[in-house]
């Protein structure tokens, strides 16, 4: 999974202008993020239609604010630069919940 470098929303939209992307917002200090991280390789493998981007919320605090990401871990899906869904809340997420969210987008 590619680590997204610090950028603003305009730069992000340019990067994800073509194709399907799943942004995973997390932070190193977030205990709920460490719970879902071991499942990410399998989640990524199960959904090859998406390019997954890891977004460090602290390195991208302005981007997170622009996208109204106030709880982590969070997942935001884009297709051709437009948001198509989000799983954003302050709760711990299981692999099954994340997979269900992604499958609901199709």
What's the confidence (pLDDT) of residue 92?
A: 82
Burial class (CB in 10 A: 0-12, 13-18, 19+), 98: buried
- The DSSP bridge pattern shows strands 2-3 and 51-56 to be parallel
- CATH number among 3.40.30.10, 3.40.640.10, 3.90.1570.10, 3.90.226.10, domain 2-104: 3.40.30.10
Residue scoring higher pLDDT (90 or 86): 86
What's the confidence (pLDDT) of residue 106?
A: 76
Task: Share the mean pLDDT of the chain.
Answer: 93
**Looking at residues 80-98, what average pLDDT do you find?**
90
User: What are the sequence ranges of the domains in the chain?
Assistant: 2-104
What's the confidence (pLDDT) of residue 91?
A: 76
Global pTM value = 0.92
pLDDT at 32 over 80: yes
């Amino acid at each position: 999974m590619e680590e997204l470098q610090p950028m603003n929303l305009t730069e992000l939209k340019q990067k994800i202008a073509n194709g399907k992307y799943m942004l995973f917002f997390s932070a190193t200090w977030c205990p709920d993020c460490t719970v879902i991280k071991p499942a990410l390789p399998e989640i990524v493998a199960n959904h090859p239609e998406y390019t997954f981007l890891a977004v460090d919320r602290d390195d991208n605090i302005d981007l997170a604010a622009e996208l109204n990401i106030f709880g982590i871990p969070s997942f935001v899906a884009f297709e051709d630069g437009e948001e198509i869904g989000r799983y954003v809340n302050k709760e711990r997420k299981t692999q099954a919940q994340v997979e269900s969210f992604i499958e609901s987008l199709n």
